[in-house]
Amino acid sequence: MSRPGSAPPAWLVVAGGVAAAVHVGKLPPALPVLQDALGLGIVEAGFLLSLVQLAGMALGLPVGLLADRLGLKRTMVGGLLLTAAASLAGGCVSSVPALLLLRAAEGLGFLLASMPAPGLIRRIVPPARISAALGLWGAYMPFATASALLLGPAWMAWTGWRGWWWLLGGVSLAMALVLARRLPADPPRAAAHDGWGPRVRRTLSAPGPWLVAGAFAAYSAQWLAVVGFLPSIYAAAGVPAGLAAVATAVAAGVNMTGNLASGRLLQRGVAAQRLLGAGFLAMGLGGVLAFSGLLGESSAGALGRYAAVLAFSAVGGMVPGTLFSLAVRLAPGEQTVSATVGWMQQWSALGQFAGPPLVAWVAARAGGWQWSWVVTGGCALAGLALAAAIGGLLGRPAAEASVQSHR
């Protein structure tokens, strides 16, 4: 229960997720500064960007199982403490290898902080409000990304990249202390708690975790590819750097509208597969309009392409908000919720790791970005197929009974 006049616990969980996720988004605006300060090469910059995703690719499911075993609150607080320690230490180093190592530690801390959150929300939110709360949770990453893109350049102009690392490390440390004090304690572990092996088998033998994981990969691959390359696309078009930064932050931030809308619509009874279908369809069409050249090269065409990017991100935001709700509902049991979310995160990281290089490869082969829609469109088609499969699964009587038991 929340104290009078204080933030509800679910909002604190979301704030904790944001405090962890800003460490994923803090690097893009810092790369030019790091290249000047540390002589960072393009390959080393690529490793700094990808190490967070490598942790997710390798450890998503194990971290989910660990969260179930240790306790959701303890795991989230521990993840924030690890992220804070790595970021505070990172601001003190001058060695690129040390920064790479600490970046990997930040990735592990981010996983530990984010994996337990949907299960925590399910525990502390009344059943009638779970879908809306999970839609809110789905907005944590775009909010963190947009905040880092907007605030990072100004803060680093004042304090340098080290001050940026120290600031965000302090934010994570503060949120860890707040969550440790304010969230309800983890319940005692049951004596007959299943071991890791049975829970892995239960999770991976059920179709639901595979479907939501595949859908999240199809979403994350194209979203990060489009938003991540926007500054490069605008730079190639001669857009001033300041305007490009703001435009990219807005494109990332509008993703929150879809996340929030998905929670409200699910709560009102709109079918999950319809929300997924609408999100993937908007992403497919938005990618075609943004990249294909159909809108022309005039000023009006440029505005139309940017509007397509905004629709791509905003309507596409219904996908992660819906998938977080489905991960909780389609987990094969109470003790596999975090494992299911971990498996979904593992595939999300795979999509984020593979999508941008694939788009970059197509752009390099084509001599421009005009064929990038082939990659994003393929991901959107895969997402539509998975949304249909999820709809079929939810239509089965046994699955419906499982969904009701998770509410």
Q: In this predicted structure, which of 5-9, 98-102, 165-169, 384-388 has the lowest mean pLDDT?
A: 5-9
What pLDDT is recorded for position 82?
97
What is the assigned CATH class of domain 9-406? mainly alpha
Phi-psi region of 5 (alpha: psi -120 to 50; beta: other; left: phi over 0): left
**pTM strictly above 0.85:** no
- Tell me the pLDDT tens digit for each residue of 41-93: 656 666 676 677 777 788 788 887 787 778 889 999 999 999 999 999 999 99
Query: Which three-class secondary structure state does DSSP give residue 207?
Result: helix
- Tell me the pLDDT tens digit for each residue of 171-217: 999 999 999 999 988 887 644 455 677 778 888 889 999 999 999 99
Query: What is the SS3 assignment for 310-346?
Result: HHHHHHHCHHHHHHHHHHHHHCCCHHHHHHHHHHHHH
What pLDDT is recorded for position 193?
53
Terminal-to-terminal C-alpha distance of the chain: 19
Largest CA distance in the chain: 67
Whether residue 233 has pLDDT greater than 50:
yes
Whether residue 35 has pLDDT greater than 90:
no
Task: Give the C-alpha separation, 329 to 326, whole Å.
Answer: 5
What pLDDT is recorded for position 194?
58
* Mean pLDDT for the chain overall: 84
Task: Give the C-alpha separation, 314 to 319, whole Å.
Answer: 10
Whether residue 101 has pLDDT greater than 80:
yes
List CB contacts of 219: < 8 A, sequence separation 6 or more. Answer: 279, 280, 283, 316, 319, 320, 323, 348, 351, 379, 383
Q: In this predicted structure, which of 41-55, 131-145, 325-339, 341-355 has the lowest mean pLDDT?
A: 41-55
- Tell me the pLDDT tens digit for each residue of 280-291: 999 999 999 988
**Overall average pLDDT of the 237-258 stretch:** 83
- In the chain, what are the domain boundaries? 9-406
Residues written for the chain: 407
Whether residue 7 has pLDDT greater than 60:
no
Residue pair 169/91 in contact by the 8 Å Cβ criterion: yes
Q: Which two tokens stand for residue 316?
A: 């596409």
* Confidence tier at 329 by pLDDT (50, 70, 90): confident
Q: What is the DSSP string of 357-378?
A: HHHHHHHHHHTSSTTHHHHHHH
- Tell me the pLDDT tens digit for each residue of 8-27: 778 899 999 999 999 988 88
Q: In this predicted structure, which of 131-145, 159-173, 222-236, 276-290 has the lowest mean pLDDT?
A: 222-236
**Overall average pLDDT of the 22-33 stretch:** 84
Question: If we measure between CA atoms, which residue out of 121, 138, 339 comes closest to residue 219?
Answer: 138
Task: Give the C-alpha separation, 17 to 47, whole Å.
Answer: 23
Residue pair 345/112 in contact by the 8 Å Cβ criterion: no
Share of the chain above pLDDT 70, in %: 90
Task: Give the C-alpha separation, 270 to 274, whole Å.
Answer: 7
Q: Which two tokens stand for residue 318?
A: 């219904």
Calculate the CA dihedral of residues 122, 128, 132, 138 and round it to 10 degrees: 20
What pLDDT is recorded for position 399?
46
